[in-house]
Amino acid sequence: MHYGIFWLCAGLLLLAGGQLTKASKGRGYYYDDANPGKCTLTDTVILSPGETAISLTFCGQLTCKNEEGLGETVGCGFHAPLKGCQWGDFKDETALYPDCCERYQICA
């Protein structure tokens, strides 16, 4: 069975939950009987163990960890702005990871 979408969504929820972490990591199984020994992220993104791909659907990267389909996602995470400041908009949401994580910081 393919649980990749479930784990991807769970990873994104973790991204939104931790406000003081500098990066976020998630793990999930991306095994598909059609592609044994690989991580099947989508119909067109199939990784061998050790291979990494930059996500085009969210700001992050995905790495295939083993032949059982274990994959690891790494995203921007969240960290606190400087004291007296707040986060503004992302600088370039169309950039690839990790450049897509950069945000403007607004200080009083």
50 Rama class: left (phi>0) / alpha (psi -120 to 50) / beta: left
What's the pLDDT score for residue 21? 39
What's the pLDDT score for residue 11? 46
What is the average pLDDT across 30-53? Answer: 96
Instruction: Between 15 and 34, name the one with better pLDDT.
Output: 34
What's the pLDDT score for residue 108? 83
Q: pLDDT over 90 for what percent of the chain?
A: 70
pLDDT in tens, 53-101: 999 888 999 999 999 999 999 999 888 999 999 999 999 999 999 999 9
Average pLDDT, the chain: 84
What's the pLDDT score for residue 4? 53
DSSP β-bridge partners for residue 87 = 105
